[in-house]
Structure 1
Amino acid sequence: MKIKHFLVAIVLAGFPSFVSAQLLPYQNHELSAEERAEDLCKRLTLEEKSLLMMNGSPAIERLGIPSFDWWSEALHGVGRNGLATVFPSCIGMAASFDDDLIEEVFTAVSDEARAKNTLARREGKNGKYKGLSFWTPNINVFRDPRWGRGQETYGEDPYMNGRMGLRVVKGLQGDGTGKYYKLHACAKHYAVHSGPEKTRHSFDIERLPARELWETYLPAFRMLVKNGKVQQVMCAYQRFEGSPCCGSDRLLNSILRYDWGFDGLVVSDCGAIGDFYREGRHEVSKDAKAASALGVLSGTDVECGGVYKNLPGAVKRGDVKESDIDVCVKRLLKGRFELGDFDPDSIVPWTSIPMSVVGSVKHRELARKMAREQMVLLKNNGILPLSPDAANIMVMGPNAADSTMMWGIYYGQPAHTVTALEGLNARTGRKLPYARACAVTRMTDQESVFGNFHCSKGKGMEASYWNNTGMSGQPDVEVVYTSAISLDNGGNTAFAPGVNLTNFTTRIKGTYTADRDEMLRMVYNNDDGLRIIINGDTVHNRWKTDPLNFRDREFAVEKGKKYYIEVDYMQLEDDATLNFDILRSRDVTPADAVAKAKDAEVVIFIGGISPVYEREEAKVNEPGFDNGDRTSIELPEPQREILKALHSAGKKIVFVNCSGSAVALTPENDVCDAILQAWYPGEQGGHAIADVIFGDYNPSGKLPVTFYKNDSQLPAFDDYLMEGRTYRYMREAPLYQFGYGLSYTRFDISRPVYSNDKIKVRVKNTGKVAGTEVVQVYMRRPADADGPNKTLRGYARVTLAPGESRDVVIDFPKHLFENWDEKEQEMRVVPGEYELMVGSSSADRDLKKIKVKI
């Protein structure tokens, strides 16, 4: 070994600092991250700097810089990176009102993420979704239930989003006491963003009162930046006051950098810089060079996309200075040094986390615990809990046996998913009668028979991907699909890791073995080129640029016969969509459901909506949905009609609603004996549903969003004014209030006492079973006539045995009285009289009030 290489090796192994003099400053891990970033930036060419500023940064071998991808997902578990524990959706976790458990969940998530990254780097397979930078949490205020991405948030209250977001950040990044961050978390989408999805690339929020900006849309971001030291902030797609958020000097420089002192990274939402100049989008820049310059000058350090490759040309043209680019590059290099990206595993303690944590028994138990706590009991006329030994129970509903529904959106791949049907069967110890009854949005009974496919790699269909449009050369990526194919590049999501977002092809093939004589339905939708070949016969061929199409083809099969099916897809422009499945289906009526339930006394109906339709830029043709948002918050009509028919037939109904947002359940409140809000409950959700229904767990969840009575209670979706929205500004009674949720026991909460920056109440369990209550604290300033009805300022969980009483003390420091001062045009604690309200929900009837002077 040459002496130079030997010296480098022993320094990297942690030998004393005298040897480090042989290294260049940026290679010396004993220097600060800032010093190393300053040194390395000086050694980079302009072209290299621009490459480092894109999310998929290639290796720069001459300087020993490894490849790095800033884009990984961990919304509620490590996403899009193979095996991982899938926890409940974020909106569900918010319903737990359990900050400690949320931190525990994201500590588990970061353990899995670090272990997977360490293995990927050692195998030379690091890349998109496999990195150390995770673009979560989403702390946008869920202002309108029609927004399909609201399920990614922690509800409609600014304080709650901030408080829970802080614990997500801590769980992901670590406590900040060590030399290296465990991961980078990212607060998104900054700012004033919550739909509609359809217009987000061109929409301008032109006029927003200062009060609403500072009191509703910014507080959570401010909390994570100033109190949580979040290392990344993602700017949003839309325009705010005429400027795209990723090109807004006011948002990114004046407020974020200067007012709040943020010194971390700003990353763009995917494709957001391209929106600056592309036709039909914001069109505020004349071309890609101008767009890249605007992004840099506004403070966007890392671009998710490819526009920043134009930065050298922008410098040459005079649109931006290289010194401006250096500011961004130093920040991103500092971030990588603080993650230990340049340093050996031996000195980065997080790299010792073993792969055995991924999908471990401990994490599965944690997923079940969270799924239990996030269940919200909305109605119970005494029917619950059911006895697991009770006869004549039947399970129905389109979501009862749907495993992928449980995962929500932005998910990983669990080792096993416990569906509601599986969980109910496991708890009763028998196979309960089951009928799907209808589809989520249509009066059809159908099932996928995709499970009858086999390929050379086993069960399912095998797919080969080429990052070209000619299927030429060796495939770049190969995967196997074991369930219905549902793919799109919404949110700039690749069909599979390593596949281009555009200009790619795939061949998906498998052999279908018929298990009966029947007429099946082949359903598929796509944009651009598609060929379908069955036993050598081409039954569909549109191999060209093509708009999104939805198609349906009958497909006759004979028992025992094999059918070789090949699906070829070519993506050429803009959006990419490919869905393919083979279904058994038939039209049904509510009377059919009643007939199937003729022997049942109690029907557990697992319904609601689905993340297939409710998600980022979903491209499906279903009534009630548009581009991932909802056009109506009512329960889909087929389910509503079946529930009504079952009730009329004298059946007792336990309705389990699965959704990522509020559903208007006014008719269901009349016909169902019990309603349980299950959200999208994750891989252990089926067990959790059974735990609550059969009384093994006493529900304690509370609504983090208002459940409106019907569509008529909603203001216009694209109106960002808060009047009439959420519990804070709604003037009429909703169906179920924010903070509402029933238990199998009852609690009494005393009148509060406020003293020494603390609120104290006494809580008593007046029922016959142990249970947990969530004590909630709200505040308002009576003199503030234009302010919110009330606003959440604290909460605490308390678990009590029957008859037990306990004092609950909640910190309430002076800064929590902060609100908007119209006269001074700022957020501050205005001296005067305040009203504190403490109780079990935001409803006035559930609150006890005191007045205090500040």
Structure 2
Amino acid sequence: MRRNWTPEVSAVFALALALQALLAPIQLPAQSPATPVYRDATRPANERAHDLVQRMTLDEKAAQLEDWATAIPRLGVPDYQTWSEALHGVARAGHATVFPQAIGMAATWDTEMVKQMGDVISTEARGKYNEAQREGNHRIFWGLTFWSPNINIFRDPRWGRGQETYGEDPFLTGKMGIAFIDGVQGPDAAHPKAVATSKHFAVHSGPESLRHGFDVKVSPRDLEETYLAAFRATVTDGHVKSVMCAYNAVDGMGACANKMLLEEHLKQAWGFKGFVVSDCGAIMDVTQGHKNAPDIVHAAAISLAAGTDLSCSIWEPGFNTLADAVRKGLVTEDMVTRAAERLYAARFELGMFDEPGSNPNDKIDMSQVASEEHRAEALKAAEESIVLLKNDGLLPLKNAKTIAVIGPTAELLASLEGNYNGQPVRPVTPLDGIVKQFGAENVRYAQGSSLAAGAPVPVPRTAFEGGLKAEYFATSDWTGRPVATSTEPRIDYDWVYATPVPEIHTHDYSVRWTGTIRVPAPGKYRFATETQSGFPYSPRESYRAMVDGKLVSQGKTEGETKPAEGASPTSPPHMANMAKGQFEVTFSDTNPHAFEFGYSHAGDESGGGITLSWEAPPEAQIAEAVNAAKAADVVAVFVGLSPNLEGEEMPIKIEGFSGGDRTSIDLPATQEKLLEALGAAGKPVVVVNLSGSAVALNWANQHAGAILQAWYPGVEGGTAIAKTLAGESNPAGRLPVTFYASVQDLPAFTEYAMKNRTYRYYAGKPLWGFGFGLSYSTFKYGEVKLASTSVDAGKSLTATVTVTNTSQVAGDEVVEAYLKTPQKGGPSHSLVGFQRVPLNPGESREVAIEVSPRSLSAVDDSGKRSILAGEYRLSIGSTQPQETQAKSEANFTVKGSAELPK
């Protein structure tokens, strides 16, 4: 239809068409919304974290400040469990390479070895994380934020968790901590392989049974000189990305709400930019234990305000109450926002929100986990960690034809693993290592004793002549055909988050062992079954035991569960009252008896593994051991402890042990009696001690021909010990703690003053001092050459010394440098440098030690650190100057003085 427009309208229409044609070329096509900054992998992590957190509601932000961080689907944020462990290998997440316990790694005095361990950890962690992401597994212990290393000072040998530390000295602890962090986090600070966490900040080292309410009273001097120094090093030099605050209070205020620690020192003085996480349940301790707040909401508020960013609450309320705290005006939302941004900056740095495959670490797969290459590193670490405490020429064992292997730690899996451990593949016990090294036909074995009265040990292989037939079922009730069979020496297994054999592809499985059992003497035998922890989950586990075809015991080993009221909604039910199977069998003879034992695991993939232990008549065990000793040329006695006796807050209370700590550092009486009986047999005795702490080996020091300290040596521990006994490995480890003769002249365990503690202040004579360790080689030190005999305050000093291997045996020498300052009432001397040096027979090497201004400094009673003018003495040698002739010393002068920062 033709429109009848007026000329004016037609003119306007024509103009409009002209304008449309003119503007058409510059019109933009329709576009999708811009990519959010937090999704842009080219942007810095802090910017991405800021953008993401700004998009969250207050309640969503508060939920992210929990270890069980909930998902936010509208933002594409998955749930994440921040808690993972990696003290000496990836822990609690299935098979992994298990290195020596941290205290053993400290005994290597080899920072490169510790760094290599850290690199293995982060590599295996990436393999596990990548696999878990593909499977949709967001469980605890499968992440990339690791709550290690433990930087606390092992001030008292009674502390059960001292095994997790790098010893009693702040300088050694700092260097080892930095090396661990370097290995775990990797060389690229903006793109770490994993996140390390220095814990437990600060002044934390027992007692375990008091930690939730214990208030540490510490002098300004001890705080600065001893308790904070290593933490500072891991922040300022190690650039650790996370710090964990402790359970205890310091001067009345809970560590996680303590502004002196978190604000004044950590953030202001040291410039820490990472995130602070509470120890698990420590925010609840702020209110319930330390009474610093009337309830959990106020406790969360003052902890956030003090500088804690993340609450590990596990089964309790914590920072998930912060939204209420904001609404009540206790803290601002900006404070919640800043804490969440610090947490998410770390996650963005780890590449958790980038496209899969865009990060080189995404290519690491499970083939790296517990690989043969990594196993070789663990063996090398175990060899380096062994300390030779005494040798009257008995070692190495060159002429012995038969060896009696005696003692409760000779085939004890727990004493290979230590605590906070991964699950080793084909672990080598000391007995296994010696059999392989010297030949089964040359070895006589007897268990000899329990670890301590009331502490059962695994039923030894000698009770199961010919071994046990093991049948593995892919069902939880021993039905169907077994998918695998084997012959095994005993029942002592750790399968946490792993499966027993490759043929089983389900976490609902069962195992049946059959054979015969023969006891060393007639009598009553108390048996116990203990399953591996499924923490924090509760798998269904059970056992049954039969002797001579009769059921003697059966039962469940799982605990009770109940809802975790007030905790994060993604946390599992609370687990409590874990059960242990216990039963008695009376044997009237020493004949073989038909034996069957079954274990069932189902319900959850966590946990896995069981140990069948016993308490046998002590006289029968000793008699069996003496007979084995008399039939051998030399006796190797394996004594010590286990992480079931010393460790973190545990219910044990028997003679010598309480709550995870030790009430005595003597070798337990059962083992002491065994040593005395073996000594009376008249054969040469070498004592090998496996423990995570110093043991007063007084009888061994007086009577044994040789003593080795092997710590908790990891997956290849038995191989390392056997190679050392045979002389294929030359020991060069050094003690990272003082071995006292007793605790009689030590201060009370609850006393944190450093007076008469550790090598720097102890006034007595120890069995073996910090830094002590012998070798099959001998070494000579040349004259110490100083870069200058006069140093300006604030400058470093370089010293060089020539070290020569004067023996016919290649070996490592650990060169240790100690400094005595002019401070009145200061330490007797302090470690200021060390280096582990390999030397061939007759070889000499010049070793340079740089003494930093901080190592030259002293701390006064007010806590002020400064370099003093005056005369200094530097001693370089095999150990502390008073304990060795292999040393060289020199004096120098510092001109002027200089105050150093906190």
State TM-score, norm by structure 2.
0.82
User: What secondary structure sits across from 1:327 in the alignment?
Assistant: helix
Q: Are residues 582 and 834 of structure 1, via their aligned partners in 2, closer, same or farther at CA, if it must alter by over 3 Å?
A: closer
Q: Any conservation in 2 of the 1:519–1:556 contact (CA below 8 Å)? A: no
Q: Return the offset for 1:481.
A: 8.3
Matched, 1:292 2:304: no
What corresponds to 1:767 in structure 2? 807
Counterpart among 155, 161, 168 of residue 173 in structure 2: 161
What corresponds to 1:508 in structure 2? 541
Q: Any conservation in 2 of the 1:464–1:477 contact (CA below 8 Å)? A: no
User: What secondary structure sits across from 1:441 in the alignment?
Assistant: coil
Matched, 1:51 2:89: no
Distance 2:698 2:187 in 1: 45
Q: Return the offset for 1:386.
A: 0.3
Q: Deviations over 1:774-804 (max 9, x none)?
A: 110011213x122111110100122222222
What corresponds to 1:688 in structure 2? 720
Q: Return the offset for 1:569.
A: 13
User: What secondary structure sits across from 1:603 in the alignment?
Assistant: strand
Q: Return the offset for 1:821.
A: 3.7
Distance 1:95 1:647 in 2: 29
What corresponds to 1:655 in structure 2? 687
Distance 2:382 2:575 in 1: 44
After superposition, residues 200-215 of structure 1 pair within 5 angstroms as 200-206=211-217, 208-215=218-225
What corresponds to 1:429 in structure 2? 439
Q: May I ask how many residue pairs the two structures share in their alignment?
A: 789
Q: Are residues 657 and 169 of structure 1, via their aligned partners in 2, closer, same or farther at CA, if it must alter by over 3 Å?
A: same
Q: Deviations over 1:13-55 (max 9, x none)?
A: xxxxxx9982011111111111111111211011111111101
Q: Any conservation in 1 of the 2:635–2:684 contact (CA below 8 Å)? A: yes
What corresponds to 1:674 in structure 2? 706
Distance 2:380 2:115 in 1: 13
Q: Return the offset for 1:599.
A: 1.4
Q: Any conservation in 2 of the 1:779–1:791 contact (CA below 8 Å)? A: yes
What corresponds to 2:876 in structure 1? 838
Q: Deviations over 1:483-523 (max 9, x none)?
A: 986469xxxxxx426x44xxxx6532355454x57997889
User: What secondary structure sits across from 1:150 in the alignment?
Assistant: helix
User: What secondary structure sits across from 2:209 in the alignment?
Assistant: coil
Matched, 1:827 2:865: yes
Q: Are residues 254 and 487 of structure 1, via their aligned partners in 2, closer, same or farther at CA, if it must alter by over 3 Å?
A: farther
Q: Any conservation in 2 of the 1:446–1:585 contact (CA below 8 Å)? A: no
Q: Are residues 749 and 220 of structure 1, via their aligned partners in 2, closer, same or farther at CA, if it must alter by over 3 Å?
A: same
Higher mean C-alpha displacement, 361-370 vs 21-30:
21-30
Q: Deviations over 1:789-824 (max 9, x none)?
A: 11101001222222222211112233321221447x
Matched, 1:734 2:766: yes
Q: Return the offset for 1:651.
A: 1.4
Distance 2:266 2:424 in 1: 37
C-alpha RMSD over aligned residues: 3.3
What corresponds to 2:325 in structure 1? 314
Higher mean C-alpha displacement, 196-205 vs 318-327:
318-327
The one-letter amino acid paired with 2:658 is D
Q: Are residues 556 and 673 of structure 1, via their aligned partners in 2, closer, same or farther at CA, if it must alter by over 3 Å?
A: closer
* Structure 2 runs not aligned, ≥5 long: 1-30, 477-481, 486-490, 497-505, 514-527, 563-573, 789-796, 895-902
What corresponds to 2:452 in structure 1? 441
Matched, 1:233 2:266: no
What corresponds to 1:801 in structure 2? 840
Q: Any conservation in 2 of the 1:525–1:579 contact (CA below 8 Å)? A: no
Q: Return the offset for 1:546.
A: 9.5
What corresponds to 1:113 in structure 2? 125
Q: Return the offset for 1:767.
A: 1.6
User: What secondary structure sits across from 2:630 in the alignment?
Assistant: coil
What corresponds to 1:259 in structure 2? 269
Matched, 1:607 2:639: yes
The one-letter amino acid paired with 1:836 is L
- Please tell me whether Structure 1 or Structure 2 has the larger radius of gyration of its CA atoms: 2
What corresponds to 2:284 in structure 1? 274
Higher mean C-alpha displacement, 370-379 vs 613-622:
613-622
Matched, 1:190 2:201: yes
State TM-score, norm by structure 1.
0.86
What corresponds to 1:175 in structure 2? 187
Q: Any conservation in 2 of the 1:606–1:657 contact (CA below 8 Å)? A: yes
Distance 1:751 1:463 in 2: 52
After superposition, residues 69-148 of structure 1 pair within 5 angstroms as 69-148=81-160
Q: Any conservation in 1 of the 2:174–2:229 contact (CA below 8 Å)? A: yes
Q: Any conservation in 1 of the 2:252–2:290 contact (CA below 8 Å)? A: no
* Paired-residue identity, %: 40
Distance 2:232 2:510 in 1: 43
Q: Any conservation in 2 of the 1:173–1:185 contact (CA below 8 Å)? A: yes
Counterpart among 580, 583, 587 of residue 553 in structure 1: 583
Q: Any conservation in 2 of the 1:148–1:615 contact (CA below 8 Å)? A: yes
The one-letter amino acid paired with 1:162 is G
The one-letter amino acid paired with 1:87 is F
* Structure 1 runs not aligned, ≥5 long: 1-18, 466-475, 489-494, 531-543, 571-575
Q: Any conservation in 1 of the 2:732–2:814 contact (CA below 8 Å)? A: yes
Distance 1:683 1:774 in 2: 25
Distance 1:57 1:75 in 2: 23
The one-letter amino acid paired with 1:415 is V
Counterpart among 851, 854, 877 of residue 815 in structure 1: 854
Q: Return the offset for 1:564.
A: 7.3
Counterpart among 331, 339, 351 of residue 350 in structure 2: 339
What corresponds to 2:660 in structure 1? 628
Q: Are residues 519 and 807 of structure 1, via their aligned partners in 2, closer, same or farther at CA, if it must alter by over 3 Å?
A: farther
Higher mean C-alpha displacement, 223-232 vs 401-410:
401-410
Q: Return the offset for 1:127.
A: 2.0
Q: Any conservation in 1 of the 2:101–2:163 contact (CA below 8 Å)? A: yes
The one-letter amino acid paired with 2:882 is D
Q: Are residues 193 and 803 of structure 1, via their aligned partners in 2, closer, same or farther at CA, if it must alter by over 3 Å?
A: same
Q: Any conservation in 1 of the 2:544–2:554 contact (CA below 8 Å)? A: no
What corresponds to 2:381 in structure 1? 370
Distance 2:819 2:444 in 1: 49
Counterpart among 413, 417, 421 of residue 407 in structure 1: 417
What corresponds to 1:37 in structure 2? 49
User: What secondary structure sits across from 1:711 in the alignment?
Assistant: coil
Counterpart among 812, 816, 820 of residue 776 in structure 1: 816
Distance 1:613 1:285 in 2: 35
Matched, 1:664 2:676: no
Distance 2:786 2:873 in 1: 11
User: What secondary structure sits across from 1:320 in the alignment?
Assistant: coil
The one-letter amino acid paired with 2:583 is R
What corresponds to 1:15 in structure 2? none
Q: Any conservation in 1 of the 2:646–2:657 contact (CA below 8 Å)? A: yes
The one-letter amino acid paired with 1:401 is E
Distance 2:70 2:800 in 1: 56
Distance 2:91 2:529 in 1: 17
Q: Any conservation in 2 of the 1:524–1:580 contact (CA below 8 Å)? A: no
Q: Return the offset for 1:452.
A: 6.6
Q: Return the offset for 1:141.
A: 0.7
